[in-house]
Copies of this chain bind each other. A is one copy, B any other.
Amino acid sequence: MKQSLKKPVPDPTVRERLLTAATDLFNRKGYAGTSVREIVEAAGVTKPALYYHFESKEGVYLALFQETFAAFLATLAVPGSGAGSARERVLDLCDRAFQFSVAHLPLVRLMYAIYYGPPQGAPNFNFEASHEAVQSLIAAVVREGIESGEFKPIAVEDAMWAVVGALNIAMEVDLCHPEQSLGREGLARLLNAVFDGLATSATPLKKARKGVRP
């Protein structure tokens, strides 16, 4: 048993190859449909290597999401995101999130597949937590923008959803149609459109404002 509980600098190549191979196979054949044998063969290693770095197939799966999620939060929390106007900080936050998403498309795709797909015996990972983490980060900046008067005094939740909606659609376009990706510049344009508004003048509905169509 060479491996203590401290993880003494495990070989990154083998570990990475296993994670990459697992992501690819889970995407192509599903979690249940992927065997440990297939993973190790695709990674060019042997079974014991997998069981050394991870405890099981479930361990590979959980490591995949846990480590990526941790890296995602670290990316968002990087210094420099606390300076500037609320608009700039939201743009920066979304830019980081978008870049991360683009750099990890296969895992994002897997997340969607697991989240929406039928149960496959895959271990539970709290995807909600990662969504809520991003949302609360954006909501916090939006709240400050509203309190400082930079943003209009609308509900924080509404403003947050407007921003998350733009970020989310940019990510999904990249995921589903990479060839027509909006790119970082496109996301920035989109967010600025949301900040500045589409309308030339703030002219709400002519008719009743309470209730939607009868």
Interface residues of A (CB under 8 A from B): 27-30, 33, 84-85, 87-88, 91-92, 95, 109, 112-113, 115-119, 142, 145, 149-152, 154-155, 158-159, 161-166, 168-170, 172-173, 176, 182, 184-186, 188-190, 192-200, 202-206, 211-213
Contact = CB atoms under 8 A, between A and B. Distances in A.
Contact of A168 (B115, B165, B203): B165
**3 nearest A-B residue pairs (beta carbon):** A197-B197, A165-B169, A165-B165
Copy number of this protein in the oligomer? Answer: 2
Nearest to A212: B184
Contacts of A154: 189, 193, 198
A152 B85 contact: no
A108 B142 CA distance: 31
Contacts of A176: 115
A149 B184 contact: no
B192 A204 contact: yes
A116 B113 CA distance: 5
A31 B13 CA distance: 37
A158 to B, nearest CB: 5
Contact of A112 (B116, B161, B184, B185): B116
A115 B177 CA distance: 12
Contacts of A188: 212
B158 A88 contact: no
Nearest to A115: B176
Nearest to A112: B116
Contact of A88 (B27, B88, B205): B205
B198 A195 contact: yes
